[in-house]
Structure 1
Amino acid sequence: MPQTPSSKPDASAYQSLKPIFQFIAPYKKNVVLALFFLVFTAGISLSLGQGVKMVIDNGFISGSLEQLTQTILVLIGMIFLLAFGTFFRFYLMSWIGERVSADIRTAVFNQIIKLHPSYFEENRSGELMSRLTTDTALLQSIIGSSFSMALRSTFMLLGGLVMLFVTNLKLTMIVVVCVPLVLLPMMFFGRRVRDLASSSQDAIADIGTYAGEIIQNIKVVQSYSHEKLEQAAFGGEVEKAFEVAKKRIKQRSFLFAAVILLTFAAISVMLWVGGQDVLSGAMTGGELGAFIFYAIMVAMSVATVAEVYGELQRAAGSATRLLELLALKSDITSPEQPQQFPSQSNSAIVLNNIGFNYPSRPDVPALSDINLTINHGETVALVGPSGAGKTTMFELLQRFYDPQQGSILLNDTNIQQLPLDDLRHVMGMVPQQPVLFSSDVSHNIGYGKPDATSEEIENAAKRAHAHEFITQLPEGYQSFLGEQGVRLSGGQKQRVAIARAILKDPDVLLLDEATSALDAQSEHHVQAALNELMSDRTTIIIAHRLATVIHADKIVVMDGGRIVDVGTHQSLLTSSPLYQRLCELQFEQAKSKVTE
C-alpha cells in the first residue's frame, strides 16, 4: 500500500493530522464562534484568580461583611459567565467533531467503493471496516473534545504564566524553570505512545476481521464442532491486542505520572517560598492565594496538554491510516475524455488477443491469446474445467480488471474508452452464488433499477417466478431477508437475483449457471423466464452443466486460460476431445443418478 509523506516514522503528530484540517475548512463560521467562546471562557477563568484575591484581601482580611458580600457576588457573576461560555464552547466544538467525523467517514467509504477489485484481494475487509469506524471515531474525539481541551489549556497556560508574572516575579521564575522539566517526558513518551497506538489499531482490525469471518461462516464452524477451537483462537487475537494496548497505556501512565510529579513538586516549592514572603510581609495573603490559583491553573493546563498530547499521538496513527486510504488511486477508472457510448454495430463484443494475469498472481496467466467475436443477439456458452478462465472473462467484460495485453471492444469501441457507469449499465450479471443485501425483498430486486416503481419490481418478480413465494413471506415485498438473504432458500435467492437482472433490462446478459441452485420444478420455470429475457439479447453463459447450453448459438471450450475450440454442441462432439470428455462425464453421472 503506498504511503503518504505523513506516514513516515519521524513525522510529527501535527504533520500527520494537518491534512485532516481540510475537512474542517467548510465550517469556518462554526470554528470562529467556537474559538471565540474558547478564548472567552479562558479569559473568565483567568479572571477568577483576581476574584480570589479580592475575596481574601477585601473580604476575609478586611473583616467587612459588606465587602465580602460584594466580592462573592462578583465571583458568582464571573462563574455564571464561565458556565454560559462553556456551554457554547462545548456544543460548537462537539458539533464540529461530529460533523467532520461524518464527512471523513463518508469520504473514506466513497473512496473504498471506487477502488479496483484487486485492492480487496490484498487487503482485509476487517481492516477497512476498522478504518471506517474506529479510526474516524478516534478523530471525532480528538477534533470535538481533545483539540478543544488542548487549545483551551494552551490559552490558560499562557495566560496563567502572564498573570503569574504580574502577581509575583520571584515565584514565577520558579514555575518557569520547572515548565521545561515537565515538557521533557511529554516529548520522550509521546513518540512511543504514537507508535504503539498505530499497532493497537492494527490489532483491533485483526480482531474485527477474524470475528467477522467466523460469524459469516457460523454454520461451517458449528457443523465441524469447532466452537471451542474458534473461541480459543479468537481469545488469542484479543490477547495480542490487549498486550499492545497494555504497552500503550503503560507509556501514557508514565507520561501522566511524570507530569503530575514534576508539576506539583514545583508548586510545593513555590508555596514554601511564598509562605515565607507572606510571613515577612513582602506579599499579601490575597496575592499568594491568587498566585496559588494561577499556579494550579498552569499545572492543570500542563497536565491536560500532556494528556491531549498522548491522544494526539494516538490519533496521528489513525490519521495516517485514513490518509493512506484516501490517497489511493483506483486502477480502473473512466477515461478523462470518454467516447460517446456507441450505437449498435454488427459485432456486440470482440476480444482481441487478450492476455491477463491477476495482480495477486502475476506469474500465473489467467487468460492467454483469447480471440472471440460475439454478435448481437447471440447466446454464447463458456464451458471447461474449473480454472479455465470463464469467470475471468466476465470480470474483464465488466472492467473489474483490465487485460495486460489485447483489447475488448463493445460495438466496435474499446471499453477502456467508455464511461464505466455506461459500460456496466448495459450489462446484467446473475452469479452462480446470488448476492443479496441485508434489506427487504423490494430493495434487493430494485437494486437493478433504483428508480423502479413497485409495479415494475413486482412484474420482474413474476417473470422470474418469484412473486408467489414473496407474497407468502410475513410482510411480502417489505420482508427483511437478513444478512446475505439468510431467510431464503438457495433457489429463492437465485430467483430474486434473476428478478433484479430482469428489472435492469441489460443489452448484454451474463449468466454464471444461474439455475444451478434451483430444484427441478423451479429450474423449469426460471429457465422459461431466462429464455424470455435472453430473446433478442446478447447472452454469455458460464455453463457447468452442459445440458443447459446444448442449444446455444456458440459454445466456447476453454482450458488453462485458453480457447481450445469453438462451435455448436453437435460440431464440438466431433471436433473437441475435451468437450466430448466433459459431456461423457456429465451425462454418465446423470444416468447413474437416474438408475439409483
Structure 2
Amino acid sequence: MNNSIAGNSNSNPADNEGHSTAKSSGAAAAPEARELKKGSLAALKGLLPFLLPYKKQFAMAGVALVVAAGSTLAIPVAFKQMIDLGFGAAGSAGNHIEHVNAVFLALFGVATVLALATAARFYTVSWLGERVTADIRSAVYRHVVTQSPEFFETTQTGEVLSRITTDTTLIQAVVGTSISMALRNILLFVGGLAMLFYTSAKLSSIILGLLVLTVVPIVLFGRRVRKLSRASQDRIADASAVAGEILNAMPTVQAFTHEKIETERFSASVESAFGTAMQRIRARAFLTMLAIVLVFGTIVFVLWLGAHAVLEGTMTGGDLGQFILYATTVAGAIGALSEVMGEAQRAAGATERLLELMSVKSDIQSPAHPLPLPPRAANGAALALNDVTFSYPSRPDTAALSHLSLDIKPGETIAVVGPSGAGKTTLFQLFLRFYDPQLGSIKLDGVDIRQLELHTLRNAIGIVPQDTVIFSTDAMENIRYGRFDATDEEVIQAAKMAAAHEFIERLPNGYQSFLGERGVRLSGGQRQRIAIARALLKNPPLLLLDEATSALDAESERLVQGALEAAMKGRTTVIIAHRLATVQRADRIIVMEDGKIVETGDHASLVALGGIYANLAALQFHNVQVVH
C-alpha cells in the first residue's frame, strides 16, 4: 500500500514558485559597478579598501623601489665618466687606469645596492599580492554566504567560484607584480627623461615630441585589449559554471547516458573561451609590437641625429653614450609600461566582476536594532501568520501565498498537506526568513521575525529538508553541524535518537568515517537520518520537517518515527506531510491549495468532509481509515 497522501513525494520546482528563473552568467551589477565599466582602469580603485590596511608595507616597497630605480639611473653616469675620462685623450695612462678602476668599483657598488633593493622590493610586493588576494577572496566569500536564496537562483555556483579564484589570481598578479613594475618604470621613465634633457635638451625635445605621437595609437588600441580581457574572463567563468553544474549531477548524467553530450557542451564552452582568449592575445601581441616599433623607431632616429652631433664635435662620446643608455632606459620603461598596462586592464576587468559581486546586497538583513526573543517556553515556540501574501521576486505577478493566516500554539504539531505548487515549501522559506512577505507578518513568540537578528531567528528553528545535505567530512562532524560546540557524547545521543547510531557504528571507522562528497557513500535513508540527528542536536523550540521520512524504508521509518515523536515533545513542529502515519500523529492538518488554506482539521474530520484532503487520500489509498 502506498503511504503517500499527496502526489509530490519529492521536491517539485512548482512548490518553490518562481525558483526556475533563467540563470544569468553573472550577478546583477549595481549602478556604481556599471559606471565603472565606462572607464578603463577606474575599476582598480575598488581595490583601495583592501590595500589601505597595509600602508607600512607599501611604504617599505616604495623605499626599495626608489633606491632600485636610483641605482639604475646612476649606471649611465658611470659609463659617461669611463668614456670621457678613462678613454679620453687627456691625461696619462696611469690616470686612465685609475679612472677605469674607480668607475668599475663604483659600478659594482651600485649593482650591489640595486640587488639588495630589488630583492627587498620583490619580497615586499609579493607578500602584498598574496595578502591582499587572500583578503579579497575571504571578503567575497563572506559576502556571498550572506546572500538570500534569490541571489543563488540567478547566479551559477561556477560563476561565483570563477570570480573567487580566477579573477582574484589576476588581481594578485597586479598587486604583487604589476603595480611594482609600473611604479619602477614610471620612475625610470621620469628620471631617464630628466637625464636626457640634462645631457641634450635638443635631442630630448625631438624624442619627447615623437613619443607623444606614438602614445596616441597605443592608448586607443589598449581600450580594445581591455574589452577583450573582460570578455575572456566571462567566457572562462561560463566554462567553470558548466563544469560545476555537470560534476554535481554526474549520477544523473550517467544514468541518462549523456556523457558525450555534456562533454561536447563543455568542449564548446572551452573553445568559446579559447577563441576569446586568442582574440585578446592577438590584440596584446599587436599592441606590444606597435609600442616597440614606434618607441624604438623614435629612439633610433634621435640617436642617428646624436651620432652626427658627435661627428660634428657638438657632443662628446661620453655624452652620446650616456644619452643612448638613458634613451634605452626610457624606451624600456615605456615598453614595460605597455606590458603592465595589458595586465592592469585584465585585472580591471576582473575587478569589475568582483565589484559586481560585492555590490549585490541581500534584501534580507538583520534590523539595526533587533529585538530579543522571550525566554524559551517549556513546550516550544508560538508561531503566527497574519494575512501573509507573498510572491517570488522572479514571478511578482503570481502569488505563492495569498492572505494566509495561521496560529500555531506552543508544543503543537501541524501537518501541512496539499498538491504540488500549493505553497508548502514557501511557508518554510518564510519561517526561516529566506524571503520576506510583501504583505502581512510572521511572529515567533509574539515578535515579528523581521525585528529579530537573523541568527537569533534561525537558531530557534531546526529543519530537516527533503533534499538532505551531507558535507565532505566524517559522520561526527556532519551531525555536529547542528551545533558546533556539542560534545561527542551529545552527537552520539542525537544519532541514537535519529536511529542513525547503529549504521554509523558499522561504517569502517565509525563516527570518524568519511562520508564522501554530498554523502555518496550513504543510502538515501541514511543521509536522511544524519540530517534528523543534526536537527535534534540543535534542540530548537521550532522544528520544521519537510517529509523527513520520505527516503526511509519501512523498518527505518518505524525507528525514525519513534525518534521524531520523542523529539517533538517540548517543541512546536510543522511538517510538510505526505505519509498517512505522519498526518495522523499531527494535532492539526492544514490543507493548502494555490497558496491558501482551504481545509483545517484532523484526519477523520477531513476525510468525512469529502474535500481536497479526502480526494488526495483516495488517490493514494484503497482504504482510508483513522488509525487509533
Alignment-derived partner of residue 485 in structure 1: 519
Q: Distance in 1 between matches of 2:176 and 2:255?
A: 47
Which residue, out of 271, 278, 293, partners 1:261? 293
Separation in structure 1 between the aligned mates of residue 432 and residue 485 of structure 2, nearest angstrom: 22
Instruction: Give the structure 1 partner of residue 240 of structure 2.
Output: 208
**Greater alpha carbon shift after TM alignment, 520-529 vs 370-379:** 520-529
Q: Cα distance, 1:357 vs. partner? A: 0.6
2:442 aligned residue: 408
Does 1:182 find its partner at 2:209? no
Change in Cα spacing, 1:590 to 1:438, as seen in structure 2 (3 Å) is farther
Which whole-Å CA distance do the structure 2 matches of 1:589 and 1:266 have between them? 96
Give the 5 Å matches for 1:343-422. Answer: 343=375, 348-422=382-456
* Superposed counterparts of 1:479-518, under 5 Å: 479-518=513-552
Matches within 5 A, 1:164-313: 164-313=196-345
Instruction: Work out the CA distance in 2 between the residues paired with 1:2 and 1:9.
Output: 10
Q: Give the alignment partner of residue 108 of structure 1, picking from 132, 140, 143.
A: 140
Structure 2 residue matching 1:315: 3-state secondary structure: helix
Letter in 2 for 1:381: A
Are the equivalent residues in 1 in contact too, given 2:589–2:603 (CA < 8 A)?
A: yes
Normalised to the residue count of structure 1, the TM-score between the two structures is 0.95
Contact 1:4 1:323 in 2 (8 A): no
Determine which of 68, 71, 78 is the counterpart of 1:44.
Answer: 71
Residue identity opposite 1:26 in structure 2: P
**Paired residue type of 1:159:** G
2:346 aligned with 1:335, yes or no?
A: no
Aligned to 1:33: 60
SS of 1:429's partner is strand
Distance change in 2, residues 1:532/1:16 (3 Å): same
3-state SS of the aligned residue for 1:461?
helix
Question: 2:553 and 2:624 mapped to 1: Cα distance?
Answer: 15
Match of residue 160 from structure 2: 128
1:449-494: CA deviation from partner (whole Å, max 9, x where unpaired): 1111222212212222222222332333222222211121111111
Higher mean C-alpha displacement, 148-157 vs 451-460: 451-460
Closer, same or farther in 2 for the Cα pair 1:58/1:453, shift >3 Å? farther
Deviation at 1:432, TM superposition (A): 0.9
CA distance in 2: counterparts of 1:48 and 1:242, whole angstroms: 44
Pick from 300, 303, 314 the counterpart of residue 346 of structure 2: 314
What SS class does the counterpart of residue 403 from structure 1 fall into? coil
Q: How has the CA–CA distance of structure 1 residues 400 and 10 changed in structure 2, closer, same or farther, with 3 Å as cutoff?
A: closer
1-side partners of 2:32 and 2:383: how far apart?
A: 44
2: distance between equivalents of 1:11 and 1:260?
A: 28
| CA offsets 1:435-457 (integer angstroms, 9 cap, x no match) | 11122222211111111122221
1:325 paired with 2:352, answer no
Q: Distance in 2 between matches of 1:478 and 1:4?
A: 49
Shift of the 275–578 alpha-carbon distance from structure 1 to 2, 3 Å rule, reads: same
TM-score (norm 2): 0.91
Amino acid in the other structure paired with 1:553:
D
Secondary structure of the 2:584 match is: coil
Cross-structure match for 1:24: 51
Matched residue, 1:568: 602
CA RMSD of aligned residues (A): 1.9
Higher mean alpha-carbon deviation, 499-508 vs 64-73, is at 64-73
Structure 1 residue 347 displacement after superposition? 7.3
Per-residue Cα deviation, 1:277-315 (whole angstroms, up to 9, x for no partner)? 223333232222221111111011101111112222222
Residue 460 of structure 1 aligns to which amino acid in structure 2? A
Asked whether the equivalents of residues 6 and 15 of structure 1 are also in contact (C-alpha less than 8 Å), the reply is no
Structure 1: tracts of 5 or more residues without a match: 592-596
**Counterpart of 1:130 in structure 2: which amino acid?**
S
* Structure 2 residues not aligned, in runs of 5+: 1-27
Deviations 1:50-108 (A, max 9, x none): 12223333444566444323322211111111010001111111111211111111111
Q: Given residue 306 of structure 1, which amino acid in structure 2 is its aligned partner? A: S
Q: Superposition pairs for residues 72-87 of structure 1, below 5 Å?
A: 72-87=104-119
**Residue 568 (structure 1) shift:** 0.4
Give 1:276 deviation, angstroms.
1.8
Please state how far the C-alpha of 1:590 moved relative to its aligned partner. 11
Structure 2 CA distance for partners of 1:51 and 1:480, relative to 1, 3 Å: farther
Check the 8 A contact 2:37/2:43 in 1, yes or no. Answer: no
- Distance in 1, matches of 2:427 and 2:128, equals 48
In the TM superposition, residue 131 of structure 1 has moved relative to its aligned partner by: 1.6
2:613 is matched with which residue: 562, 579, 582? 579
Residue 191 of structure 2: aligned partner: 159
Asked if residue 442 in structure 1 is aligned to residue 476 in structure 2, the reply is yes
Q: CA deviation at 1:576?
A: 4.3
1-structure distance, mates of 2:86, 2:509: 75
Counterpart-to-counterpart distance in 1, 2:515 and 2:102: 70
Task: Give the aligned residue type for 2:265.
Answer: A
2 CA distance for matches of 1:14 and 1:216?
37
The 3 A distance-change label for structure 1 pair 164 and 358 is same
Contact residue 146 and residue 311 of structure 1 kept, 8 A = yes
Q: How many pairs does the alignment contain?
A: 591
Q: Percent identity?
A: 51
Q: Which range is displaced more, 243-252 or 203-212? A: 243-252
Is 1:471–2:499 an aligned residue pair?
Answer: no
Residue 376 of structure 2 contacts residue 541 of structure 2 at CA under 8 Å; is this kept in 1? no
Distance in 1 (alpha carbons) for counterparts of 2:144 and 2:550: 32
User: d(CA) in 1 for partners of 2:584 and 2:473?
Assistant: 37
- Is the Cα contact below 8 Å between 1:545 and 1:586 reproduced in 2? no
The one-letter amino acid paired with 2:171 is L
Q: 1:576 and 1:379, CA in 2 relative to 1: closer, same or farther beyond 3 A?
A: farther
Are residue 137 (structure 1) and residue 169 (structure 2) matched? yes
The code of the aligned residue for 2:461 comes to M
> Post-superposition shift, 1:589?
10
Give the number of the structure with larger relative contact order, counting CA–CA contacts within 8 Å between residues 6 or more apart: 2
CA distance in 2, matches of 1:9, 1:327: 12
Q: Which amino acid in the other structure matches residue 567 of structure 1?
A: G
For 1:11, the equivalent position in structure 2 comes to 38
Residue 622 of structure 2 aligns to a residue whose secondary structure is helix
CA distance in 1, matches of 2:225, 2:34: 15
CA distance in 1, matches of 2:373, 2:397: 35
- Following the alignment from structure 1 to structure 2, what is the Cα–Cα distance between the partners of residues 233 and 300? 44
Aligned counterparts of 1:83 and 1:480: Cα–Cα separation in 2: 51
Q: Which deviations, in whole Å up to 9, do the C-alpha atoms of 1:126-164 show, x marking residues without a partner?
A: 222222122122111111111111111101100000111
Partner of 1:70: 102
SS of match in other structure, 1:428: strand
Q: Is the 8 A contact 2:390 2:438 kept in 1?
A: yes
Contact 2:367–2:450 under 8 Å retained in 1: yes
- The residue aligned with 1:594 is none
1:520-531 aligned at under 5 Å gives the runs 520-531=554-565
For residues 390 and 545 of structure 1, the distance between their equivalents in structure 2, rounded to whole angstroms, comes to 15
Partner residue of 1:57 out of 71, 75, 84 = 84
CA drift of 1:2 comes to 4.0
Which letter maps to 2:531? A
Instruction: Please tell me the residue identity of whatever aligns with 2:443.
Output: L
Q: Distance in 2 between matches of 1:313 and 1:371?
A: 55
In 2, Cα distance between equivalents of 1:443 and 1:70: 71
Q: Measured at CA, do residues 156 and 371 of structure 1 come closer, stay the same or move farther in structure 2, by a change above 3 Å?
A: same
